[in-house]
Amino acid sequence: MKTLQVSLAERSYPIFIGEKLLADAELLRAHVPARQVLLISNTTVAPLYAQLLKKAFAGCELVEAIIPDGEQHKNIATASRVWDVLVANRFSRDAMIVALGGGVVGDLAGFAAACYQRGIDFVQIPTTLLADVDSSVGGKTAVNHPGGKNLVGSFHQPRAVIIDVSLLVSLPEREYRAGLAEVIKYGLICDAEFFSWLEASMPRLLAREASALIEAIHRSCALKAGIVSRDERETGERALLNFGHTFGHAIEAVTGYTEWLHGEAVGTGMLIAASLSHRLGMLSDADLKRIGAVLAAAGLDRQPPQCGAARALEYMRVDKKVKSGRVRLILLEQIGRAIISADYADAALDATLLQYFG
Amino acid sequence: MKTLQVSLAERSYPIFIGEKLLADAELLRAHVPARQVLLISNTTVAPLYAQLLKKAFAGCELVEAIIPDGEQHKNIATASRVWDVLVANRFSRDAMIVALGGGVVGDLAGFAAACYQRGIDFVQIPTTLLADVDSSVGGKTAVNHPGGKNLVGSFHQPRAVIIDVSLLVSLPEREYRAGLAEVIKYGLICDAEFFSWLEASMPRLLAREASALIEAIHRSCALKAGIVSRDERETGERALLNFGHTFGHAIEAVTGYTEWLHGEAVGTGMLIAASLSHRLGMLSDADLKRIGAVLAAAGLDRQPPQCGAARALEYMRVDKKVKSGRVRLILLEQIGRAIISADYADAALDATLLQYFG
pLDDT for B21: 97
Q: Are A246 and A232 in contact (CB under 8 A)?
A: no
Cα of first residue to Cα of last residue in chain A, in angstroms, is 47
The average pLDDT across B190-194 equals 97
Q: Are A176 and A168 in contact (CB under 8 A)?
A: yes
Which of A167, A199, A227 lies at the terminal end of a domain, its last residue? Answer: A167
Which of A120, A140, A167 lies at the terminal end of a domain, its last residue? Answer: A167
Q: Which domain holds residue A17?
A: 2-167
B26 and B42 assigned to the same domain: yes
**What's the CATH number where A276 sits?**
1.20.1090.10
Q: Which one of A116, A320, A323 has the shortest CB-CB distance to B152? A: A116
* CB pair distance less than 8 Å for A153 and B35: no
Tell me which residues of B are annotated as active site.
118, 140, 182, 224, 234, 238, 242, 245, 249, 262
pLDDT for B151: 92
Which of A167, A186, A209 lies at the terminal end of a domain, its last residue? Answer: A167
For residue A338, CA distances in Å to A287, A295, B165 come to 13, 17, 51
DSSP codes joined into one string, B91-121 = --TT-EEEEEESHHHHHHHHHHHHHBTT--E
A259 and A123 assigned to the same domain: no
* CB pair distance less than 8 Å for B119 and A76: no
B340 and B232 assigned to the same domain: yes
The rounded distance, in Å, linking the Cα atoms of B278 and B291 is 11
Model confidence over A260-311: pLDDT tens digits? 998 999 999 999 999 999 999 999 999 999 999 999 999 999 999 999 999 9
Beta-carbon contacts of residue B184 (< 8 Å; ≥ 6 apart): B195, B198, B267, B270, B294, B295, B298, B300
The rounded distance, in Å, linking the Cα atoms of A307 and A302 is 15
* CB pair distance less than 8 Å for B154 and A322: no
Provide, as residue numbers in chain A, all residues whose Cβ is less than 8 Å from the Cβ of B83.
76, 145, 151-152
pLDDT for B321: 54
Model confidence over B322-353: pLDDT tens digits? 555 678 899 999 999 999 998 899 999 999 99
Pick from B115, B112, B137: which is nearest to B124 by CA? B137
The rounded distance, in Å, linking the Cα atoms of A139 and B28 is 33
The average pLDDT across A70-96 equals 94
- Give burial (CB, 10 Å; 0-12/13-18/19+) of B84: middle
Provide, as residue numbers in chain B, all residues whose Cβ is less than 8 Å from the Cβ of A155.
118-119
Q: Are B178 and B130 in contact (CB under 8 A)?
A: yes
Among chain A, residues having any CB pair with chain B shorter than 8 Å are 76, 80, 83-84, 87-88, 111, 114-119, 140-142, 145-148, 150-155, 317-318, 320, 322-325
Nearest-CA distance B260 → chain A (Å): 25
Model confidence over A124-165: pLDDT tens digits? 999 999 999 988 788 999 999 988 889 999 999 999 999 999
Confidence of residue B107 (pLDDT cuts 50, 70, 90): very high
B246: number of Cβ within 10 Å = 22
B337 and B228 assigned to the same domain: yes
Cα–Cα–Cα angle for B287, B288, B294, rounded to 5 degrees: 90
Cα-to-chain-centroid distance, residue B198: 18
Q: Are A195 and A180 in contact (CB under 8 A)?
A: no
Kindly tell me if the per-residue pLDDT of A357 is higher than 70. Answer: yes
The average pLDDT across A217-246 equals 89
pLDDT for B163: 98
Kindly tell me if the per-residue pLDDT of B311 is higher than 70. Answer: yes
Cα-to-chain-centroid distance, residue A111: 15
Alpha-helical (H) ranges within A158-233 are 173-190, 192-206, 210-230
E strand map for A19-139: 36-42, 61-67, 96-101, 121-126
Alpha-helical (H) ranges within B255-357 are 262-279, 285-297, 309-317, 346-357
Element (H, E) at B219: helix B210-230
Kindly tell me if the per-residue pLDDT of A11 is higher than 90. Answer: no
ipTM of predicted complex: 0.89
B199 and B345 assigned to the same domain: yes
Catalytic-residue membership of A233? no
Q: Select from A115, A231, A238 the residue whose CB has the most chain B CBs within 10 Å, as the one to mutate to test that interface.
A: A115
The rounded distance, in Å, linking the Cα atoms of A111 and A89 is 19
Nearest-CA distance A314 → chain B (Å): 11
Q: Which one of B83, B90, B147 has the shortest CB-CB distance to A88? A: B147
Give backbone dihedrals phi and psi of B287, rounded to 5 degrees, phi first: -65, -45
Model confidence over B254-307: pLDDT tens digits? 998 889 999 999 999 999 999 999 999 999 999 999 999 999 999 999 999 999
Catalytic-residue membership of A145? no
The rounded distance, in Å, linking the Cα atoms of A310 and B230 is 53
* Residues forming beta bridges with residue B155, ordered by sequence position: B140
Torsion sign, CA atoms A246, A249, A253, A254: positive
pLDDT for B61: 95
A274 and A315 assigned to the same domain: yes
Cα-to-chain-centroid distance, residue B277: 24
Q: Select from A75, A152, A232 the residue whose CB has the most chain B CBs within 10 Å, as the one to mutate to test that interface.
A: A152
B225 and B325 assigned to the same domain: yes
**A3-17, A209-223, A319-333, B200-214: segment of lowest average pLDDT:** A319-333
Q: Are B2 and B219 in contact (CB under 8 A)?
A: no
The rounded distance, in Å, linking the Cα atoms of A108 and A121 is 14
Number of domains within chain A? 2
pLDDT for B322: 54
Question: Catalytic pick from A242, A264, A278, A321?
Answer: A242
Model confidence over A15-66: pLDDT tens digits? 999 999 999 999 999 999 999 999 999 999 999 999 999 989 988 999 999 9
Q: Are A154 and B114 in contact (CB under 8 A)?
A: yes
Kindly tell me if the per-residue pLDDT of B5 is higher than 80. Answer: yes
Pick from B36, B159, B9: which is nearest to B92 by CA? B36
pLDDT for B325: 63
A257 and A308 assigned to the same domain: yes
pLDDT for A236: 78
Q: Which one of A83, A84, A323 has the shortest CB-CB distance to B92? A: A323
A139 and A187 assigned to the same domain: no
Q: Are B250 and B315 in contact (CB under 8 A)?
A: yes
Nearest CA in chain A to B78: A76
Nearest CA in chain B to A111: B115
DSSP codes joined into one string, B15-81 = EEEESSGGG-HHHHHHH---SEEEEEEETTTHHHHHHHHHHHTTTSEEEEEEEPSSGGG-BHHHHHH
Catalytic-residue membership of A238? yes
A202 and A272 assigned to the same domain: yes
B168-207 burial, b if ≥16 CB within 10 A, otherwise e? beebeeebbbbbbbbbbbbbbbbbeebbebbbebbeebbe
DSSP codes joined into one string, B200-212 = HHHHHHHTT-HHH
B125 and B179 assigned to the same domain: no
Kindly tell me if the per-residue pLDDT of B236 is higher than 80. Answer: no
A43 and A108 assigned to the same domain: yes
**What's the CATH number where B144 sits?**
3.40.50.1970
Portion of chain B with pLDDT greater than 90, in percent: 83
Mean pLDDT (chain A, rounded): 93
